[in-house]
Amino acid sequence: MIDHVTLSRGRVAVFKDSAAADVREPLKLDDGAIVSPDGKITLPGSSPRRLLDGELFPLAGGKQPARDSVTLQGGNVIVQKDGARLEVESRPQHHHERR
C-alpha cells in the first residue's frame, strides 16, 4: 500500500507505513497540495475544492482517480458521480391502509 491521504465516509484519513490516522491539521503533500481536516484540498495553483469520497492522493504527490460511490452518512444517502457530490433527499412515505 502506498502512503496516501483519502476521504472515506466523510472522514479525512492519512495512511502511512500501513497505519491509518485521522487528519487533524492541514497536511502538506510533497507536490505542495494541502489537505485540510474538513475535507478540502488545495492543489498548487488552484482554488480549494472538496475531496471526493474514495479519492486518493499519494503523500509523494499526484492523484489516483475517485470511483463513483453511494454511501450512507448520518442517515443521509450521498451519491458521488463524475466528480459531483449529491445528497439524496428523503421524503416521508405515506402508507395507505387497504380495507
Domain assignments of the chain as residue spans, ordered by start: 4-66
Q: Is the pTM of this model over 0.85?
A: no
What pLDDT is attached to residue 98?
61
CB 13 within 8 A of CB 23: yes
Closest CA to 35 of 9, 54, 10, 14: 14
CB 57 within 8 A of CB 3: no
Q: What percent of the chain has pLDDT over 70?
A: 78
The span from the CA of 87 to the CA of 97, in Å, is 31
CB 59 within 8 A of CB 4: yes
87 grid coordinates: 445528497
| 51-83 tens-digit pLDDT | 988 788 999 988 766 667 777 878 888 777 655
